[in-house]
Amino acid sequence: MNTLLVTSTQDSTGKTAVTLALGLLAQERGLDVGYMKPKGTRLQSNVGKTLDQDPMLARELLGLDAEMHQMEPIVYSPTFVEGAIRGQEDGDELADIVRENYDQLSAGKDLMLVEGAGRYTTGGIIDLTDPEVADLLDAQVLLVADYTKPGDIDDVLAAADDIGEDLAGVLFNRVSDSVYDELETEVVPFLENRGIDVLGVLPRKRELAGVTVEGLAQELGADVATNVPTDAFVERFLVGAMGGDAALRYFRRTKDAAVITGGDRSEIHTAALEAPGVKALILTGGHRPPAAVLGKAEEKGVPVLLVNADTLSVVDRAEELVHSGRTRDEETVSLLRDLLFEHADVDALVPAAADDE
């Protein structure tokens, strides 16, 4: 049996979608695939009462019948981390728990996919960073990384050094057109000359870059006050806190943005609706805007979302959503599957079926 641990240089590199897309490709080759995320970090509760959503999606998309406590034996919540610092958690015992559940999940599997937590260093407090988990499970490691500038390679080299001989290679994800050629012609040869295999360079796709207005509304628990399409993508957020004229100049310099402001700031609403790059208005504080604002939004085709929370809280949550990429779902994984097939060395990551060997 082969085991591949997928980790990353930093949070929100698309690691989950890459992991599950590899699972789909392996199943297409006739392999029996298992999945595990030893340290659950994508939590909806600080105390870890709500489990990580990634194993739930894995169980659904890969058709697994494993129990959640097996797939995610450690709920790596802030409360857990605080307890570990106080000496309330034993790293050796936790390692035994991870190994025991891994053995159960991997029984009879051709390929075991292990998803890392956050970034590769997560888990150091309990001596279970991703490189340490790879050693524990005898896994090869795929390092997923972003690339926007040459200095990002420092992170890749540091991670490769920490992972050591278990490193299968690096996969660059979401690479924009502006740096794609530079990465392929200069950076990839540099890394390979350092003994680091680059197994793929996936181009940035708009469909995976942001979050739809519909997805944003769902994640924020917002009421949609307009009857217009909500399928536009939002990649950035602007906070409306200035006067109307200044706001209009500010909003016109952006694209694919949502404006977040108080529901009682009608002059900001009006300015935002005049800017072609504004794809949605998110109004906070539980205030409903005047009918004239909603009418203009309908006319312009701009959705208006109403949220009860304060502006700062909404900004923090919205930024978190965009930084983590599009909300994880079946379509996201399917798109990543196609990108991996076209732009990555899948043979180096997914073994052939027994009949093909």
Q: H/E/C letters for each residue in the chain? A: CEEEEEEECCCCCCHHHHHHHHHHHHHHCCCCEEEECCEECCCCCCCCCCCCHHHHHHHHHCCCCCCHHHHCCEECCHHHHHHHHCCCCCHHHHHHHHHHHHHHHHCCCCEEEEECCCCCCCCHHHCCCHHHHHHHHCCEEEEEECCCCHHHHHHHHHHHHHHHHHEEEEEEEEECHHHHHHHHHHHHHHHHHCCCCEEEEEECCHHHHCEEHHHHHHHHCCEECCCCCCCCEECEEEECCCCHHHHHHHHCCCCCEEEEEECCCHHHHHHHHCCCCEEEEEEECCCCCCHHHHHHHHHHCCCEEECCCCHHHHHHHHHHHHHCCCCCCHHHHHHHHHHHHHHECHHHHCCCCHHHC
Please report how many Cα atoms fall inside a 13 Å half-sphere around the Cα of residue 131, on the Cβ side: 14
Distance CA 213, CA 42 (A): 21
Pairing of strands 39-40, 140-145: unpaired
pLDDT recorded at residue 244: 57
Distance CA 254, CA 262 (A): 20
Judge whether 77 and 43 are in contact, CB under 8 Å: yes
- CA dist list (Å): 247 to 232, 233, 280: 22, 22, 15
pLDDT recorded at residue 137: 97
Please report how many Cα atoms fall inside a 13 Å half-sphere around the Cα of residue 356, on the Cβ side: 10
Distance CA 225, CA 251 (A): 21
308 φ/ψ angles, rounded to the nearest 5 degrees: -80, -25
The series of mean pLDDT values per 10 residues for the chain, 357 residues long, is 92 87 95 94 54 80 90 90 94 96 95 93 96 97 94 96 96 92 96 96 78 86 91 83 68 83 87 88 89 92 92 82 61 89 94 63
State the amino acid at position 322 in one-letter form. Answer: V
Torsional class of 174: left (φ above 0), alpha (ψ -120 to 50), beta (otherwise): left
pLDDT recorded at residue 47: 45
For the question of whether the overall pTM of this predicted structure is more than 0.85, the answer is: no
Distance CA 108, CA 151 (A): 43
Which of 78, 75, 47, 62 lies closest to 16, judged by CA?
62
pLDDT recorded at residue 319: 77
Judge whether 251 and 258 are in contact, CB under 8 Å: no
Which of 44, 152, 247 lies closest to 160, judged by CA?
152
Distance, first Cα to last Cα, the chain: 14
